[in-house]
Amino acid sequence: MTDREPAVQVLSESPGRIARETLAHDRRTWIASALLLFIVVLTLSAPLYATYVSKTDPFVSSINGTTVIDGQEVSVLQQSTEGLRIGVNPIGPTWRIGSYALGADNQGRDVAARLLYGGTNTLLIGFTAGFLTITIGTLLGVIAGYSGKFVDSFISRILDVIWAFPVYLLSISLSVVLLTSGFKWGPISLEAGSLYLPIFIIGLVYVPYVARPIRGQVIALREREFVKAAIGSGAKSSQIIFREILPNVIPSVIVFIPMMVALAMLTESALSFLSIGVQPPDASWGTIIKDGLGLLYTRPLVALLPGLLIVITAVSLNLLGDAVRDALDPKARMRGAV
């Protein structure tokens, strides 16, 4: 009898508890969570850093600005000493907290402060657009998969139209149009330079990538015995969706969240790099990379640091997504190992 007790205990454990224990012991979860938390806290400290440490405005040009290094006043933009000595070179990394630690850009703005502020906008757009995609995609997928017939056909055709366009081509097209005229639909009105525009655009273009898999899963669930039993017992559609369908769909939705946030963040950076994402005076990691292109050979950190932060954040989100997937679906790891 005692030999069977462990087996009984294992069988009695809920899937949710098993998933939580798996995540708690997964090294990827701790590494990804620690990196994400560090980056989020770092970017949220942007106002404190700009006000009390660097004491500069990262959104205002400082062509004639100066800083003090080793007791000497030094110009932020220094006359070029190479070639024909034309133009200026921004001060390089001083590695001194509060004195242009990461250097300045070609307008004399503190790179460290701009990185923190830019990260705030990039993460804000990435997380908000990702959750917008998840919300709309899950809603449409569940409605289409459960309703069937005309409703399913109508929603599926809309998703097919969006799916037919390459993501970046559709994002660029929408950004170019909306950045010149803004967006207005009924009571909803967004100005041309609003941060809500890239959130809306990115959140929209990725909807089919969530809605289509969810729709397929709901169609399969609709044929399961427990759903048919609920229908046969006279349960309302809303009760079936919330009690039978959604609890079985939520694990897939949770797995989608880190991936969608990473994709949204990368798309925002690409749009901002092309000057059709975040608009001045706001900044993002994409706009900072664009500003640093002209300094790539003299002050490469201006362009390389935001790119490195994008890579670290995206990799952390993907690691977290893989860990969540393996915890919620142990068979996925076995399939990946085959």
pLDDT value for 83: 57
Secondary element (H or E) of residue 73: strand 72-75
Report the pLDDT value the prediction gives residue 287, as an integer from 0 to 100: 94
Instruction: List the pLDDT tens digit at each of the 338 positions of the chain.
Output: 444 444 444 444 555 565 566 656 667 778 888 999 999 999 999 999 999 998 888 998 888 888 888 778 888 887 776 655 666 788 888 888 888 889 888 888 999 999 999 999 999 999 999 999 999 999 999 999 998 889 999 999 999 999 999 999 999 999 998 887 877 777 777 787 788 899 999 999 999 999 999 999 999 998 889 888 988 888 888 888 888 899 889 988 998 999 999 999 999 999 999 999 998 888 999 999 999 998 888 888 999 999 999 999 999 999 888 888 777 765 544 444 44
**Helices 301-328 and 111-147, packing angle to 10 deg:** 30
Phi-psi map region of 71: left, alpha, beta (phi>0 left; psi -120 to 50 alpha)? left
Q: What is the H or E stretch that residue 118 is in?
A: helix 111-147
Helix (H), strand (E) counts: the chain: 15, 6
Tell the CATH superfamily of the 110-337 domain.
Answer: MetI-like (1.10.3720.10)
Quote the pLDDT of residue 81.
Answer: 65
**Per-residue confidence (pLDDT) for residue 334, from 0 to 100:** 42
Instruction: Report whether 242 contacts 302 (CB < 8 A).
Output: no
> Can you give the pLDDT at residue 331?
55
Measured distance CA(304)–CA(283) in Å, rounded: 16
Total Cβ atoms within 10 A of residue 193? 13
Sorted by where each begins, the domain ranges of the chain are 110-337
Say what the pLDDT of residue 219 is: 93
pLDDT score recorded for residue 8: 40
Alpha-carbon distance of 284 to 125, in angstroms, equals 10
> What's the rounded Cα separation, in Å, for the pair 167 and 21?
37
Alpha carbon distances (Å) from 230 to 12, 34, 138, 223, 236: 25, 43, 22, 11, 9
pLDDT at 330: 55
With beta carbons less than 8 A apart as the criterion, state whether 145 and 71 touch: no
Q: What is the pLDDT of residue 139?
A: 95
Note whether 277 and 268 are within 8 A (CB): yes
Report pLDDT for 209.
95
How many residues are recorded in the chain?
A: 338
List C-alpha distances in Å: 284 to 59, 150, 314, 321.
12, 43, 15, 24
- Residue 76, exposed/middle/buried by CB under 10 A (0-12, 13-18, 19+)? buried
